[in-house]
């Protein structure tokens, strides 16, 4: 996502990265999910290359983050690959906090969206939305499906949704510059599904089997 928004000319005033055991575990999960696909340079490398101040906190919560933001005149905060963040951070920037979620909202809130999408035969895609104190419940800006072709693996689907999330974030920032957010934003509506947690092994086994057998319900070919 960082590489995408920088490619559009949107260079952050600051990057605040979480350095924690849980953060490391989550990073490894993401890397496992997109195994075999190209990954972007490390955030530290991109920050250094573009002259972006980079600070680390032990957890992405307001008491640890706000000292780095106070005094800054911020229009927006952009979340990318973070855990759930609530509180004062959400109220600080003038025009809100936005996130790009690698799943279609409102159907696939929470974690491991591609896995749960295949498991429940939900269409696969990504969504750019405003952040509130819920879990992936804020107003939507952009929502787009990933065309799922026969032969795609779970790792492919995870990769495609992550790439699309970055693209949608860049497009959302372009729309912000053009003053189009008021016409784009809207409520999500309700979901018939629960807010998902990380998919356990027994769910992933079903997902891999459905993709091998090509019994997922929403192929485009």
In the chain, the percentage of residues whose pLDDT exceeds 90 is 86
pLDDT digits (tens, 9 = 90+) for 70-127: 999 999 999 988 888 888 999 999 999 999 999 999 999 999 999 999 999 999 999 9
pLDDT digits (tens, 9 = 90+) for 145-180: 999 999 999 999 999 999 999 999 999 999 999 999
* Reported pTM: 0.94
Least confident of 32-36, 131-135, 196-200: 32-36
Q: Compute the residue count for the chain.
A: 221
Per the CB < 8 A criterion, the answer to whether 100 and 125 are in contact is: no
Q: What is the model's pLDDT at position 26? A: 81
Pairing mode, strands 97-101 and 54-57: unpaired
The domains of the chain, with CATH numbers, are 2-213 (3.40.50.170)
First to last CA, the chain: 28
Quote the CA–CA distance of 114 and 91 in Å, as a whole number: 30
């Amino acid at each position: 996502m960082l590489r995408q928004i920088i490619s559009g000319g949107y260079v952050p005033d600051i990057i605040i990265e979480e350095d924690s055991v849980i953060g490391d575990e989550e990073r490894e999960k993401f890397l496992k999910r997109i195994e075999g696909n190209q990954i972007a340079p490390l955030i530290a490398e991109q920050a250094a290359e573009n002259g972006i101040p980079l600070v680390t906190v032990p957890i992405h919560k307001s008491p640890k983050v706000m000292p780095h933001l106070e005094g800054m005149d911020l229009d927006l905060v952009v979340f990318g690959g973070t855990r759930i963040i609530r509180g004062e951070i959400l109220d600080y920037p003038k025009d809100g906090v936005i996130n790009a979620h690698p799943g279609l909202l409102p159907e696939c809130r929470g974690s491991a969206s591609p896995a749960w999408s295949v498991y429940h035969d939900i269409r696969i895609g990504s969504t750019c939305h405003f952040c509130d104190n819920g879990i992936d419940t804020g107003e939507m800006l952009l929502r787009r499906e990933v065309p799922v072709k026969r032969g795609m693996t779970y790792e492919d689907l995870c990769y495609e949704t992550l790439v699309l999330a970055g693209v949608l974030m860049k497009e959302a920032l372009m729309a912000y510059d053009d003053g189009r957010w008021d016409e784009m934003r809207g409520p999500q509506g309700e979901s018939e599904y629960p807010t998902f947690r990380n998919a356990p092994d027994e769910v992933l086994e079903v997902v891999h089997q459905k993709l091998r057998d090509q019994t997922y319900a929403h192929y485009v070919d």
